[in-house]
Amino acid sequence: MYNVNNVSARLDKPRPAVIQSRLNGGDNMTMTDAKRRANYKYDAKTYTTCAAKIKRSDAAKLQELLRRDGLTVNAFLTRCIMDYIKQAGD
């Protein structure tokens, strides 16, 4: 889980000068420090991290299958979680 108090500590990490943006057809846009801080603050308030401990061999197989299907582990887990929440709510 993000700790709002650690936002400034994460901002001190080196980053590329230009961040790829999907806005405006994927043009490269420079992100200001103020925008970066706002993004970290929003993420800290809105998101949390869920982790699972699995065997490396199972993780490798999962990543291979997801790559084949064009998914990331995060997208897959988010979809599974949201489907479970939807089913449990019925």
Rounded Cα distance between 70 and 66, Å, is 6
Count CB neighbours of 87 within 10 A: 8
Specify if 51 maps to a domain: no
Query: What's the pTM value of the predicted model, to 2 decimals?
Result: 0.57
How does residue 60 score in pLDDT terms, banded at 50, 70 and 90? Answer: very high
Arithmetic mean of pLDDT, 18-27: 50
* Structural domains of the chain, count: 2
> In this structure, are 61 and 40 located in the same domain?
no
Specify if 9 maps to a domain: yes
Arithmetic mean of pLDDT, 17-42: 71
Rounded Cα distance between 25 and 84, Å, is 34
How does residue 17 score in pLDDT terms, banded at 50, 70 and 90? Answer: very low
Give the tokens for residue 86: 């939807």
Give the tokens for residue 5: 């108090």
> In this structure, are 41 and 69 located in the same domain?
no
- pLDDT: is 45 or 22 the higher one? 45
How does residue 31 score in pLDDT terms, banded at 50, 70 and 90? Answer: confident
> In this structure, are 9 and 30 located in the same domain?
yes
Specify if 85 maps to a domain: yes
Specify if 31 maps to a domain: yes
What is the domain range of residue 85?
Answer: 56-89
CB 10 within 8 A of CB 40: yes
Specify if 30 maps to a domain: yes
